[in-house]
Amino acid sequence: MRSRDELMNRVIMTIAVVGPFLGLLLGVYFAWQRYLFVSDIVLFAVMTLVLAMGVTVGYHRMLTHQGFKTYEWIRGIFLALGCMALVGSKPDEWAATHTRHHAMSDEEGDPHSPLEGFWHAHMGWLFSLKNYSYAEEFAPGLLQDRTVMFVSRWSLLWTVLPFIIPFVLGGWTGLLWGGVVRLFWTEHVTWSVNSICHTFGKRAFETSDESRNEWVIGLLAFGEGWHNNHHAFPRSAFHGLRWWQFDLSGLLIRGLEMTGLVWEVQRVSLDTEQAQRTRMQAMRSGMSDLRQSILTSLGSMRNDLAAYGSNMMPEYALADEQWVQWESFHSQAVARLDAMRESIAHSAYVKRQKLLQCQREAQRMVEECKTRWEQMCRKPVAA
C-alpha cells in the first residue's frame, strides 16, 4: 500500500467498488434470464460464510483484539481467509487501521467516523491514503509475527484465489456469484459496521464513542453488528452478550473451544459489565462539568470574535480589498468556532482530550484573528 500513490489508490478503490456492483447487475440480469444454477447460490453462500469468518473471527477478534488463542496453523488459515475476503488489506494493515479506530473512535484521527459523513464512514474513507494505517505505528508487534508476515507477503495469492476457486468449481457463473457478487455483499456488509453501527441502533453501554447495536447488521455480519457491546468490551471474543443477540462468529469460537482447538477465550461476566457501567458513570459525571465550562468559554470567545473587527479603531480605515480579505477570514473563524461548539454539544460523549484540544484551538484562532486585524490596521490606507 505504501508504494501506491493517492491516484493509484483511487483507481484501485474505484474498481473495487464499481466492479462488484456491475457484477451484481450482471448476475441479476442472468438470473432474470433463468441463467442461474443451484451451484452458483451454494458457491455464493459458502464463499460468503467462510471468507467473512476470516475477517470477523480471524482479523478482528483473534488478531486485533486477541479474544482467544489458538494453534499457529489455525491462525494462518483464519488470516489467509481474512485476506481473501478482500474487504480491507493485509492482516497487519487491517489490524493497524482497526486499532486506530478504537483508539480515536469518533474523534479526529478516526479513519472512518460517520461524524465526517455517513458515506465517508461507509466507503469514502478508503479513497484517501491518510486514512490507512500501518503496523509500524499502531501494531508494531505484528511485524515480528511470522504467520502475519507470511500471509501479508503472499497477499497477491490471496487476492486471486477467491476468484479462481469459484471459477474452477462453478465455471463463469460460479465466478460471477461466488467471486464478484460475493465480494459486493461482503464489502457492503463489512462497511455497514463502520457506517450503520456508529449511526443507527441502540446503545446498551456508555462508551466514549457513537457505537451502536444494530440487530440487522448483527445478523448479516455474523455478530459484528453488536458493535456497542464490542466498543464497551473490545477484547471479548463474543459480541452478542445476550442469548437473543445472534453472533455466528461467537458460536464458531465457542465450537472451536469445545473441541479444544482454541483456548483462553475472553468473556464478559455480569460483574465486568457492572464495573464498566460504574466506571463510565463516574467518568461521565466528572466530564460533564468540564464539558459545560468549555462550552461556555467557547460561547463567549465566539461572541467576542463576532464583535471584533467591526467599527473598531475608527481612526484606521481599511481599503476595500482588505475588508474583503478580513471579512472572509473572520467569518471562517466564527464558523469554525460554531462548528466546534455544535460537535461538542451534540456528540453523545466527548473525550477530555478533545475538549481540551477544542479549547486550545479556539484560543489560538481568536489570537490569530486579533493579530491579523491589528496588522491590517497598522498599515494606513493610501489616500
The residue range among 159-167, 206-214, 310-318, 341-349 that interacts with Zn ion, by the rule CB under 5 A, is 206-214
- Name the minimum Å distance from CB 158 to Zn ion: 21
Pick 62 or 337: Cβ nearer Zn ion: 62
Question: How far is Cα 93 from Cα 140, in angstroms, rounded to an integer?
Answer: 11
Question: What is Dmax (Cα atoms) for the chain?
Answer: 90
Pick 40 or 247: Cβ nearer Zn ion: 247
For 124, residues 6+ apart whose C-beta sits below 8 A from its C-beta are: 117
Question: How far is Cα 230 from Cα 193, in angstroms, rounded to an integer?
Answer: 11
The residue range among 139-147, 205-213, 257-265, 333-341 that interacts with Zn ion, by the rule CB under 5 A, is 205-213
Pick 40 or 209: Cβ nearer Zn ion: 209
Residues 133-192 that bind Zn ion (CB under 5 A): none
- Name the minimum Å distance from CB 105 to Zn ion: 6
Query: Going residue by residue from 86 to 125, which x/- string records binding to Zn ion, judged by CB under 5 A?
Result: ----------------------------------------
Residues 209-268 that bind Zn ion (CB under 5 A): 211
Write down how long the chain is. 383
The residue range among 133-141, 179-187, 208-216, 273-281 that interacts with Zn ion, by the rule CB under 5 A, is 208-216
- Name the minimum Å distance from CB 121 to Zn ion: 9
Pick 211 or 236: Cβ nearer Zn ion: 211
The residue range among 130-138, 204-212, 288-296, 368-376 that interacts with Zn ion, by the rule CB under 5 A, is 204-212
For 203, residues 6+ apart whose C-beta sits below 8 A from its C-beta are: 211, 212, 213, 228, 348
Pick 97 or 211: Cβ nearer Zn ion: 211
Q: How many CB atoms lie within 10 A of CB 117?
A: 12
Write the CA distances from 360 to 188, 297, 299, 363, 365, integer angstroms: 38, 11, 14, 5, 9
Question: How far is Cα 18 from Cα 119, in angstroms, rounded to an integer?
Answer: 15
Question: How far is Cα 128 from Cα 126, in angstroms, rounded to an integer?
Answer: 6
The residue range among 207-215, 239-247, 288-296, 370-378 that interacts with Zn ion, by the rule CB under 5 A, is 207-215
- Name the minimum Å distance from CB 189 to Zn ion: 15
For 331, residues 6+ apart whose C-beta sits below 8 A from its C-beta are: none
- Name the minimum Å distance from CB 224 to Zn ion: 9
Pick 119 or 150: Cβ nearer Zn ion: 119
Residues 59 and 82 sit within 8 Å (Cβ to Cβ): yes
Pick 51 or 95: Cβ nearer Zn ion: 95
Main-chain dihedrals φ then ψ at residue 239, nearest 5 degrees: -95, -30
Q: What is the CA radius of gyration of the chain?
A: 26
Pick 23 or 111: Cβ nearer Zn ion: 111
For 339, residues 6+ apart whose C-beta sits below 8 A from its C-beta are: none
Find, among 284, 280, 90, the residue nearest to 204 by Cα: 280
- Name the minimum Å distance from CB 17 to Zn ion: 21
Question: How far is Cα 236 from Cα 250, in angstroms, rounded to an integer?
Answer: 10
- Name the minimum Å distance from CB 110 to Zn ion: 8
The residue range among 203-211, 309-317, 347-355, 363-371 that interacts with Zn ion, by the rule CB under 5 A, is 203-211
- Site size for Zn ion (CB under 5 A): 1
Cell numbers given for 157: 495469492
Residues interacting with Zn ion, by CB under 5 A? Answer: 211
